[in-house]
Every structure is written in C-alpha cells, then in structure tokens.
C-alpha cells in the first residue's frame, strides 16, 4: 500500500513552496530498517576484523562468516513457511542468529587449526576429527536456543504476538546454519588449505600489500628468520609420514589398484552393447537378431541392427576369485606401504636421536669450555708471576683448544644430522629446530613379556610379514581363478532390434531372450599355463614366508628352546 501511495505522490506536482513527504509509521519503519541494515553491516565488518586478529588470516574469517548467509536462507525459509512478515522484530532475530552462527563456525575452525597446525595431523584427518569433536557442542548450543525460543515462536501468552517474528527468524536461521555449517565450513577449509599448499610459493602484489597491512595492524612483533622452534619426536614422525616421497608413490599405486578392483567387479554387471550388420551370400543369412548366438536366425537377409545385453549368471567362482585376487594384491601393496612407512619412521627416529646426541655433546663441550677459559686465564696470571711454569700454561691452552675443536666437531655433526632429519621429513621444516624429547622418554618401555610371545606377535604384525601374507592370498585366488577357466559359464542374454527375414512367419522379429552355456574345449593350452604359473608363484611365496619366519627366530639366538624360556 505504501509503495502505491509513493508512486501516486510522485506524479503530483505541488505548488511552489510546498513539499510532499511521507510521515507516520511507514517513514519510521523505513528509517529503522536503514539503521538496522547499517548496524548489521558494521557488526559483520567488526566481527571480521576481530576474527582476522584472532586467526591471523584473511581467508579463515571469511570461511567462518559463510555461516551468516546460510542462516539468512534459513530465516527466509522460516518466515515464508509460517507466513510471517519481515519487520523490525525479525530483523533483530537475524542479528541474534548471526552471532550464534558465527560462534559455531569459530568452534569448528579453531579446533581444526589446533589439530592441523599445532598437532600436525593430516588435513583430512584434522577436519574429520575437529568437526566430529565439535558436533555435540554445536548441536547442544543451537537446539537449546531453539527450544528456549519455541514458546515465543508459537505465541504463548498475552501480548506474545509482537515477538513471534523474532523467535521464528532465530529458529529458522539457527536450524539451517547449524546443520549446513557442519558440511560447508569443513569443505571450504579443506579447499582453501589445499590451494594454499599448492600456491605457497606464489604471490601477487595485491595479496602482499593486504598481508603487510594486516600484519602491521595485528601482529605483535616480527618473526625472526633464525627463530629456533622446538620439535618433538612425534612431530618429526608425523612430518616423515606425510612428506616421505616413496609413501606418496605408494598411495598412487593403491589408487591404481582400486581401479583394477573396480575393473574386475564390472564383470558382475550387465554388459550392454549395440551391433549392426549387413550381409549377403548363401540364402543371404547370418545370425540376424541376437548376434550373441542365442537365437540367430538362419533366414536373415540384408541389414540388421540390435541392442544386446549379456549378464554373467554363474561361472563357478571365476569372477569372484579374480576380484579377491585383486583385493589381495591391494593388501600386498598396503604391506609394501607399511614397509616404506616403517622405514621412514625408523630413519626419522634415528636422525632425531643423532641430532639430540650431537646437541647434547655440544652442550657438554660448551660447559667444559666455559669452565676451562677462566682456569686458563688464572694459570696464565700465575705463570707471569712465576707461580706456574710455562708447561702448565701450555697444557691448559692445549686442553682449551682440544675442547673447542670437539665443540666444533659436535656442531658440524649436529648440522649434518639436522639436514638428514629434514630430508627424512621431506624438507617440510623451514626453520631451525630444537629437540625437546629426553633420551629416556622418547620411547616408552614395553611391559615385560616372553621373547617367543614377542616373536609370534612380530610374525603376525611386521609389515614385511603382512606383505607376504597378502601376496600368498593373492596367488591362491589367482590359482582358483585360473582353475575355474576349465569349467563352463552360464550366461543370460537378450537382444532387441530389427531384421529382414526371407521367411514371412519370422519377418521383423524384434526381440530375443535366452540362456547360453559356454563350455571351454581348447584354448591352445593357455589355461594350463596360467594354472602352472599360479601354482609356482604360490609355492615360491610359501617358501619365502617360511624363510622369513625362520630368519626371525634365528636373529635372536641359536636355540629355539632357549628362546621360549627367555623374557625381556
């Protein structure tokens, strides 16, 4: 109504000295909406600036603020479903909803940052664990607020109608933003950090200017290029696990094997294909409709076309054995990856201990030099007064030079060990390191166990043993699949199409359905060769596994009975 009045007033030309203005509730309502819109925009900007200072990032606050548009969609849907008008009260509900929605996003991003940046978890694992850990607090907070506002949204009590739009706006916004933020925020966080990794060495002038401005405003001090940061052994192992090149190659091999499994599983699904043919000759006939061989007409003449379906019904375990063989091959690749992972962790642990040992020696030599330097000065003063001989002074100076040389040697050894450790971690660390784990706390001591129990556990769990077991299972399944090729296959077939027939009663036959039995008779001894190959591979792996078990026992002593009576 107010819009129509304004449109009509614009067509009226008042006399000179007169003006036409809207007064009353409509004008006040427009002014209130304008003020609330300005306040809402200012609040969003201030929230963004506070989040930039908190997270020291320009993108992560934007990821958090994405919950506000999600909440606005929920507000619009709730008002539309309930037939509620958009007024001052519902606008206040939007502001209230925005505060709660932003707090939910902060809960997710903050905890994921702790897992990813401080505890150095893999990005995907950090997002999954952080989101699942914060799921219950977010849902409890949001649903508690919605349940508390439910009586207000229903309009219970006298005079409650005025606050109904506020409650409905808050409930709708919180419901949608709380649920969608659990999916949208983690996805955006994952996408941003993946792109940040790939573009870490790239940068535009605009991005550099914005980064400098933000750090000038909110950073409390410049970072030292030679800053020494502590690193624990678990952190070094996480770096090695994530950045070891051979492990990344093994992951690609696993993905390729997953595709191989899907390729074998395709044999369980129907095979659909189209065919077309045109022939002439003796009676002009050659397999008309149904080129799969189930109902080929002996009277086809001319062109024909069909769509054929073939479904494997039973093949005596041939397809299932092939699928299991590919799955076992994947287990073999997983065993290889475990071996690589164990090697990477072993190398990183060894270099970490070397770094700590060299650093400890350097500290010992530094303390020794600190105590020898004043002693040498004191003996030199005694030598000048004749209380000590020059020989005593020379001996002390030689000792000082020796300790300095040992200190330099320890420092050089430490630098080499740090370089090797960084290489084992894939050059993922760009700052100087300080090793915080004590030698007696780096590895937890196991409980006292019998040695033969430990060996049996190693036989089941060591990566190379796991790889051999998977390879043996793969060879077994390949042998069964090769043996099943001697057996017939039962196949269901169907065809739909059009053909020209020379006999009127079968002219224009347009479908065919049936079951075919395919019996292998002779394939040039190919199946025999595949069976022999699979049996030889299975025998080789069985001997290799027995050899691995024997080597595991022989490493710990010449006498098996002595091993069974030993404990550690």
pTM of the full structure: 0.41
Q: In degrees to the nearest 10, what's the CA dihedral of 419, 425, 427, 429? A: -90
Query: In whole angstroms, what is the distance from residue 116 CA to residue 50 CA?
Result: 22
Distance CA 199, CA 366 (A): 43
Quick one: pLDDT at residue 26? 66
pLDDT given at position 3: 64
Write phi, then psi, for 66 (nearest 5 degrees): -65, -20
Q: Show the DSSP H helices in 220-317 as ranges.
A: 233-243, 245-265
Strands 432-435 and 228-231: parallel
What DSSP character marks residue 83? T
Determine the Cα–Cα distance for residues 363 and 351; give it in Å rounded to an integer: 18
DSSP secondary structure, 183-240, as one string: HHHHHHHHHHHHHHHHTTT---HHHHHHHHHHHHHH-SSPPPTT-EEEE-HHHHHHHH
Residue 405: phi and psi, rounded to 5, are: -65, -40
Q: What is the pLDDT of residue 558?
A: 46
**Residues contacting 268, CB < 8 A, separation 6+:** 312, 319
The HSE-up count of residue 393 (CA atoms within 13 Å, CB side) is: 14
Instruction: Provide the Cα torsion 384, 388, 394, 395; round to 10°.
Output: -150
Closest CA to 481 of 323, 350, 339, 362: 323
- Sketch out the chain's domains with CATH numbers: 24-198+206-218 (1.20.1640.10), 272-315+488-510 (no CATH)
CB contact at 8 A, 461 and 476: no
pLDDT by position in tens, the chain (length 568): 666 766 676 677 777 777 777 666 666 667 777 777 777 788 788 888 888 888 888 888 888 888 888 888 888 888 888 888 777 788 788 888 888 888 888 888 888 888 787 766 777 878 888 888 888 888 888 888 888 888 888 877 776 677 788 888 888 888 888 888 888 888 888 888 877 665 544 444 444 333 433 333 333 333 343 445 566 666 666 666 666 667 767 777 777 778 888 888 887 888 776 766 655 544 444 443 444 433 345 455 556 666 777 777 877 787 888 888 888 888 777 777 777 777 777 777 787 778 778 778 878 888 888 887 787 777 777 777 777 777 777 887 788 888 888 878 877 887 787 777 777 666 655 445 555 555 444 444 444 555 556 556 655 556 667 677 777 788 888 888 888 878 887 877 777 766 665 555 445 556 667 777 777 777 777 778 888 887 887 787 777 777 766 666 665 544 444 444 443 3
| Gyration radius of the chain over CA positions | 39
Distance CA 352, CA 350 (A): 5
Is 299:500 a contact under the CB 8 Å cutoff? no
d(CA 387, CA 13): 118
Torsional sign, CA 50, 51, 56, 57:
negative
Please give the pLDDT value at position 295. Answer: 39
Q: How far apart are CA 169 and CA 100, in angstroms?
A: 13
């Amino acid at each position: 109504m107010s819009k129509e009045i304004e449109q009509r007033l614009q067509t009226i030309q008042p006399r000179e000295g007169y003006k036409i203005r809207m007064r009353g509730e409509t004008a006040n309502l427009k002014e209130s909406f304008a003020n609330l819109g300005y306040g809402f925009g200012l609040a969003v900007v201030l929230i963004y600036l506070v989040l930039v200072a908190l997270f020291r990032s320009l993108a992560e606050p934007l990821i958090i603020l994405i919950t506000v548009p999600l909440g606005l969609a929920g507000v619009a849907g709730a008002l539309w479903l309930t037939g509620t008008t958009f007024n001052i009260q519902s606008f206040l509900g939007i502001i209230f909803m925005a505060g709660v929605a932003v707090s939910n996003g902060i809960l997710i991003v903050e905890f994921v940052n702790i897992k990813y940046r401080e505890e150095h978890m893999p990005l995907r694992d950090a997002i999954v664990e952080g989101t699942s850990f914060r799921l219950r607090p977010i849902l409890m907070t949001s649903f508690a607020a919605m349940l508390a506002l439910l009586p207000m949204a229903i309009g219970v009590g006298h005079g409650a109608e005025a606050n109904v739009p506020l409650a409905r706006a808050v409930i709708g916004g919180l419901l949608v933003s709380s649920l969608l933020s659990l999916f949208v925020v983690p996805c955006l966080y994952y996408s941003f950090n993946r792109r940040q990794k790939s573009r870490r060495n790239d940068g535009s002038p605009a991005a550099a200017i914005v980064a400098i401005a933000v750090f000038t405003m909110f950073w409390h001090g410049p970072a030292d290029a030679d800053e020494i940061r502590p690193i624990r052994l678990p952190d070094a192992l996480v770096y090695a696990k994530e950045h070891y090149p051979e492990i990344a190659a093994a992951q690609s091999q696993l993905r390729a094997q997953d595709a191989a499994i899907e390729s074998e599983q395709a044999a369980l699904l129907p095979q659909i294909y189209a065919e077309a043919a045109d022939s002439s000759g003796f009676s002009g006939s050659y397999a008309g409709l149904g080129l799969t061989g189930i109902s080929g007409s002996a009277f086809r003449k001319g062109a024909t076309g069909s769509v054929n379906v073939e479904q494997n019904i039973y093949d005596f375990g041939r397809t299932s054995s092939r699928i299991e063989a590919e799955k076992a091959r994947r287990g073999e690749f997983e065993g290889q990856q475990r071996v690589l992972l164990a090697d990477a962790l072993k190398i990183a642990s060894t270099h970490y201990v070397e770094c700590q040992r060299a650093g400890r020696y350097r500290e010992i030599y530094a303390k020794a030099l600190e105590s020898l330097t004043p002693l040498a000065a004191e003996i030199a003063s005694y030598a000048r007064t004749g209380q000590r001989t020059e020989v005593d002074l020379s001996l002390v100076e030689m000792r000082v030079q020796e300790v300095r040389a040992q200190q330099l040697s320890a420092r050089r050894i430490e630098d080499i060990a740090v370089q090797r450790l960084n290489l084992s971690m894939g050059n993922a660390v760009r700052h100087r390191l300080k090793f915080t784990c004590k030698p007696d706390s780096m590895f937890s001591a196991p409980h006292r166990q019998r040695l033969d129990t430990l060996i049996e556990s190693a036989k089941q769990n060591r990566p190379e043993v796991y790889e051999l077991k998977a390879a043996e299972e793969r060879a077994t399944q390949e042998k069964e699949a090769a043996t099943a090729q001697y057996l017939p296959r039962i196949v269901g077939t169907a065809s739909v199409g059009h053909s020209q027939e020379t006999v009127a009663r079968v002219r224009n036959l347009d479908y065919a359905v049936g079951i075919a039995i395919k019996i292998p008779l002779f394939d040039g001894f190919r199946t025999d060769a595949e069976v022999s190959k699979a049996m030889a591979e299975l025998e080789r792996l069985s001997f290799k596994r027995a050899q691995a078990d024997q080597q595991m026992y022989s490493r710990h002593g010449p006498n098996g009975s002595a091993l069974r009576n030993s404990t550690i």
